[in-house]
Amino acid sequence: MGKPTWRTALSDRIPGGRDGRRMLTVTFVDRIGSGLWGATATLYFTYAAGLSTAEIGVLLAVSGSVGIAGPPLGGLLADRVPLRPLLIIVQLVRAVASLALLTTTDLGLLLAITSVGSLGDRAASVLTKLYATRVAGPGRVRYQAISRTAMNVGWAVGGLAAAAALTGGTVTVYRWLLIGDALSFLASALFTLGCAEPPSAARVAAKSTPAPGESTASAPGEPTPHDSAPSDSAPSESAPSQSAPSNSASAPGKTTAPTPWRDRRYLTYTASEAVLFLDDSVFKIGLPLWAVTATSAPHQLVPLLLVLNNVLVVLFQVPFARFGATPHTARASLWPLAGAFLLGGAALAASTVGAPWLAAVTLVLAATAFTVAEMLHATISWELSVVLAPPTAQGAYLGVHGLAQAVQRSVGPLAVTAAIAAGPLGWLGLGAGLAAMCGAQRHLVRDRGDGALSVAPVTVSEH
Confirm if 139 and 459 have CB atoms less than 8 A apart: no
Q: Under 8 Å CB-to-CB from 231, ≥6 apart: which residues?
A: none
Confirm if 35 and 159 have CB atoms less than 8 A apart: yes
From first to last of its 463 residues, the chain has per-residue pLDDT tens of 455 554 555 556 787 788 888 899 999 999 999 888 877 888 889 889 998 878 887 888 788 888 889 999 998 898 888 999 999 999 999 999 999 999 999 999 999 999 999 999 989 988 988 888 888 877 888 888 888 889 889 988 888 888 788 887 788 998 999 999 999 999 999 999 989 888 665 554 445 444 444 444 444 334 443 343 333 333 333 333 333 444 444 444 445 678 899 999 999 999 999 999 999 889 888 888 899 889 999 888 887 888 888 889 989 988 998 998 889 999 999 999 999 999 999 999 999 988 899 999 999 999 999 999 999 999 999 899 989 999 888 888 988 998 998 888 878 888 998 999 999 999 999 999 999 999 999 999 987 655 555 444 443 333 3
Confirm if 439 and 334 have CB atoms less than 8 A apart: yes
Task: Give the burial class of 154: count Cβ atoms within 10 A of its Cβ; 0-12 exposed, 13-18 middle, 19 or more buried.
Answer: buried
Listed residue (374, 129, 377) closest to 273, CA to CA: 377
